[in-house]
Structure 1
Amino acid sequence: MKILTGNKTFRPVSRLFSVNLDNSITRRRNWFDVSPPKRPTGNETITVSTYNLLSQQYMWPEVYNHIPSKYTSWQYRLPLINRNLMDLSRLADIMCFQEMEFNVYQETWKPLLKDHGFDSIFQKKRPPTYWTKSEDQLDGVSIFVNSNKFDLLSYEPVDYSEHFQNPEYFTPTQDLRERAMTRNTVALIATVRHKRTGTIIFVTNTHLYWSPEFPDVKVLQAYLLVRLLKRTMRNHYKVNDNQLSEIMRQGQASVLLVGDFNSTPDSMVYEFLQNGSLNIAKDTRFNYDYGKLEGAILKTGLLEFESQYKSLVHSSEFQCREHSQPFKRFIDYIWVNKYSKTLTPIRVLGDIDIDYVDEFSWFPNESYPSDHLPMLAQFGIK
């Protein structure tokens, strides 16, 4: 028996993941060409995904009390998440996860996906002051890489708070200590090589600070991530800043910035990454003292990015969608650097089909185990 799901044909998963077959990643969802549509000259493609799993430790009753308890229980959600991960492993070559619990990663997801050809890396959060459980129950971010297609050359774990204390990057102001250094936000920066083409791709996965009351902190985290990413790239190519800029200008480097940025398309983070700069001196949302920060204008330095869902944000197809994450509020992104000549955007996986909207009035629910949907983008690779 074969199950046709979206544009892929899958075999049924084992009984270990026995849930309804309606729960696949692409069911009720359609693929959309990027705008303008681009096609690679060859037939080699890779697919990248991002997915916030909604850690069981964050299922606070005061937040999710409107949802039947059956659908918020870990006993119900775990098999659905397992099925999602299995489906993603057949669709994606690079998978990025947020709110992945460390002990479940170690005991279940790491060995499971290793058996299906994926190497993985993980960065766990530091325990917050209120934490009373085991540190192994903390969540973090992870990157899974298809070892049949990619070599995982190196990676760097990132704890933003530690780098905020580095005087090379920041002035230790009171605002920085009180607003930014106390957050336990993390990221990963990985360097991978495509086996067939030899293409080097720098992949980052992050989950920026969640609170809407801290847009400035999210910008600082994005700014820091880009600086650390550039350091990783300089070290890989063994070049200085000017030489790296030339490599970027010629389109020889490819960068994927992936994750839950907790930032909508009208946010400072989006503007910073999309435009390559942000004038914090003129932005009233950035009304805090963080020292000089390389001047009043934060810059990415030739690392301007293009969100692969940009063409859908304001389209008529999605304007009326108010039923689910991520399309109720775009906060999850798959960014690629604009100057890349080795990664050609092809298509992205869209929202749940409009015909099924009334079926899902809350998330998580009987078919979807998280309050986010997995997002996927496909690229041609040279």
Structure 2
Amino acid sequence: MRCEACSSSSLCARYAPVSTTAPSRSSLKRRPFFFYFFNRYFFNCEPSISCSTNRPTDSSSSSSSLSTSSYSRRWYNPLRRRQLDETPDIERHWVEADQPPLASQERFTVASYNILADRNASWHKDLYSNVPYSYMNWDRRKRLICKELIGWNPDIICLQEVDKYFDLSDMLATAGYLGSYKRRTGGSVDGCAMFWKADKFRLLEGESIEFKSFGLGDNVAQLSVFEIWATMANRQMCNAASRRLLIGNIHVLYNPRRGHVKLGQIRSLFSRAQNLSEKWGNAPAVLAGDFNSTPQSAIYKFLSSSELNVMLYDRRELSGQRSCHPAQVLGLKQQFSSPLKLIDGLLKDCWTDEEIKVATGKTTCNIAVHPLKLNSSYATVRGSLGTRGSNGEPLATSYHSKFLGTVDYLWHSDCLVPTKVLDTISIDVLQRTGGLPCKGIGSDHLALVSEFAFTTPTNVGINATT
């Protein structure tokens, strides 16, 4: 028989007999219902099918015939580790306030940086699947982190996810910094660290908060009261004019589903900060850290407005983190909702009395409040369109394979005003890095740095407490 399509004098594959032997009942594998349901609903496909002809082939064409005469559905992961030369150069610039406020000429800078604990980087390798191995090396990352910090020359540094404190303190000591450290409770080995310039600040009081003592998990926070000498020439003078300043440093619980615990941790820190501020003559405050909450979240509203009715929100969505997958943010993933997700959204997670107490501090009160009136330095100082969102906050301060968004902030009280901030990086540039850390950044977060000025007379806060 001659094939009309290929003019072959031999039997063509399309006319070759196909094996139609039915598989035995014992060879069929019973699959659960949800296997077929998810294949049909999400992927519009049947389970994988393979077929082959019984046409004889010679050895020279066996490999090609197998590829053309057989078919099977396979999953393919297109993600690959980027090459070292593919990472764009990172440039960050200072952005000054539009109208410099009428404030004291005394200025100080504060940096906040989640530096990605070495142990966390090792335990969560799936978050950095597109990052070259050399970029994850701690020795390389610690040098980059310290180079960044020393280059920006902040007066006070607040770090989160620190598990190699002495590696950092030894390097920062050469630049004139002293430091303190508080490790998390429980099985975690990382914690919070604070550094300050020894020639400009004197530590008056330091306090560490273990949230475990409040039943709020193993996270920790730091509070420090500093005295800033007016001039170094009169440093030894007892009556030298000076200012006092309260600095807070926190790493809030990550778990997005435990929004009530996040609220409890923030509320507890701010309450203690208020007490310390009053103790030291109403010292102005800067509260820095990784708050694990986005600018569009209910927790951000709590931070900026001082109160929140928790019953208006699903506690699992208080932080806004679950809407920040890179594919969603970049518009690469088509939004769809499964029946289970739709039902989950319709049935809001009910608050128990214990959860209300954790969030608000009282079982009978649905309103969470904190005593401080705070503003975000980055939301106050306008940045470029490519780096800021609608409310003025950075579009992203953290980027890895499962998150692209903002969770880091520098909050300040009314007695301080930000005069400039170190702008962040545009989404376009971050996207081209493929994920952090990268060539010029040693963490999966971006450091925030802000310069502040006082708005109160010099003698405020002096001799309030001896």
- The superposition leaves residues 4-30 of structure 1 with CA deviations (integer Å, 9 ceiling, x where unpaired) of xxxxxxxxxxxxxxxxxx999xx6112
What is the rounded CA distance, in whole Å, between the counterparts of 1:23 and 1:216 in structure 2? Answer: 39
Identity of aligned residues (%): 26
Residue aligned with 1:220, SS: helix
Tell me how far 1:82 sits from its aligned partner.
Answer: 3.1
Q: Which has the higher contact order (CA 8 A, sep 6+)?
A: 1
Displacement of 1:111 in angstroms is: 3.1
Counterpart in the other structure of 2:443: 370
| Cα contact 1:97–1:142 (8 A) shared by 2 | yes
| TM-score (norm. length: structure 2) | 0.61
The residue that corresponds to 2:361 in the other structure is 293
Which residue number corresponds to residue 189 of structure 1?
Answer: 223
Unpaired runs of at least 5, structure 1: 1-21, 132-137, 165-179, 238-246, 248-252
Give 1:231 deviation, angstroms.
2.6
* Residues 122, 142 of structure 1: 8 Å contact kept: yes
- TM norm structure 1: 0.73
Q: 2:135 aligns with which of 71, 84, 96?
A: 71
Match of 1:309 among 372, 378, 385: 378
Residues 46, 40 of structure 1: CA spacing in aligned structure 2 closer, same or farther, 3 A cutoff?
A: farther
- Matched position secondary structure for 1:318: coil
Candidates 107, 125, 146, aligned match of 2:184: 125
Partner of 1:31: 94
1:5 alignment counterpart: none
* CA RMSD of superposed structures (Å): 2.9
User: Which of 194, 204, 213 is the aligned partner of 2:257?
Assistant: 213
- In the other structure, the counterpart of 2:410 is 334
- Which residue is equivalent to 1:92? 154
Q: Partner of 2:13 in structure 1? A: none
Deviation, 1:357, is 4.8
C-alpha separation in 1, matches of 2:446 and 2:388: 17
Secondary structure of 1:227's match? helix
- Matches of 1:310 and 1:350 in 2, distance apart? 11
1:266 maps to 2:299: no
- The one-letter amino acid of 1:112's match is M
Among 325, 348, 360, the residue aligned to 2:398: 325
Unaligned runs of 5+ in 2: 1-86, 231-240, 319-350, 459-466
Match of 2:192 in 1: 141
Measured after TM superposition, the shift of residue 58 of structure 1 is 0.7
CA separation of 1:198/1:266 partners in 2, compared to 1, >3 Å: closer, same or farther? same
- Code of the aligned partner of 1:72: M
The 2-side partners of 1:208 and 1:230 are apart by 18
Q: Give 2:198's aligned amino acid.
A: S
Matched position secondary structure for 1:63? helix
- Indicate the residue corresponding to 2:70 in structure 1: none
**Structure having the larger proportion of residues in strand:** 1
